[in-house]
Amino acid sequence: MFWRKQKAAIERFHPLHRALTLERGFSVSLRRDDWEPVIASLAGHGTVVRRRKWQLSRRVPAVLVPLLRVLAADMPPDGVLSVAADLRGADLPEKRGPQHDVPVQRPVISMKQWYAVDPWLQMRAELRDGSVLELVVTDRVRYRRRKKRNPRGKVKVKTKTKTTQLVRVTRRLAKDAVVQRPASPPPRWVKVQVKPGKRMVIRVNGKLRGAQEGKAMLDRILDVSTEPFRWTPPGTAARRTK
């Protein structure tokens, strides 16, 4: 049987690793230390799987695994880390919005435009300082399908895409946590909302133009994720200043 050894290797993967390989996603909540076997299983993927059909999305080793490690390092042993990953891509019927016509001029005959919204990664971590961090990474893709007649009378159809990546991080602080406004403002592409109260909520939104991938994407996600932590001095999350 073709690919018999690779199929057998996939069956030996951790169940969540197998779900990423065959179904391109999963949704689960596990305690901190229960994520380590998942990470270890993912690390050996490339050594046993060669078929393109079963290759992991590049976002798994470049973004998902590093974020798992970063969050786990700031969690207590009994802390719960929830992850919903959908790596099937934005070009699915259930992720597309309605099409509408765009005004055109000759030689363009017609143009259709629609958007797809793909929240491909959602994470929630209970941190050791008593706060809760939530992360959502969304691709918003604009599609334009253009029908154009060239000088020879031939009609050509071309589809172009433009991606904007949205990163939202919410940190719900521990009750009566110490809060201190940062000395410097965040970058212009990062917006911060603060909801005061006994459990202050800091919500940060970042908008990334273009399709960031690999380390560039991870760095931008981490830039947004660290902003809520600038509001609390290190090691002082147990009570709030007066």
Phi-psi region of 187 (alpha: psi -120 to 50; beta: other; left: phi over 0): beta
pLDDT at 44 over 50: yes
Q: What is the mean pLDDT of residues 8-23?
A: 94
pLDDT of residue 175: 84
pLDDT of residue 236: 54
Q: Name the pLDDT band for 235 (thresholds 50, 70, 90).
A: low
Q: What is the mean pLDDT of residues 102-117?
A: 91
Q: What is the mean pLDDT of residues 83-110?
A: 92
pLDDT of residue 104: 85
pLDDT for 154-198, tens place per residue? 889 999 999 999 999 999 998 878 888 898 999 889 999 998 887
Give, in order, the Cα–Cα distances in Å from 90 to each of 16, 81, 141, 147, 162.
21, 25, 7, 22, 12
Q: Please give the share of the chain, as a percent, with pLDDT higher than 90.
A: 67
Q: What is the mean pLDDT of the chain?
A: 90
pLDDT at 45 over 80: yes
pLDDT of residue 238: 41
pLDDT of residue 19: 96
pLDDT of residue 1: 46
Closest Cα to residue 58, out of 15, 14, 24? 24
pLDDT at 240 over 90: no
Give, in order, the Cα–Cα distances in Å from 74 to each of 82, 97, 137, 180.
14, 38, 20, 20
pLDDT at 242 over 60: no
Neighbouring residues of 240: CB distance < 8 A, sequence distance ≥ 6: 176, 177, 178, 179
Is the distance from CB of 231 to CB of 182 less than 8 angstroms? yes
pLDDT of residue 55: 93
Read off the amino acid at residue 223.
D
Closest Cα to residue 125, out of 83, 85, 84, 167? 83
Q: What is the mean pLDDT of residues 101-128?
A: 93
| Cα angle 58-64-70, degrees, rounded to a multiple of 5 | 140
pLDDT of residue 6: 84
pLDDT at 2 over 70: no
Q: What is the mean pLDDT of residues 33-59?
A: 92
pLDDT of residue 95: 95
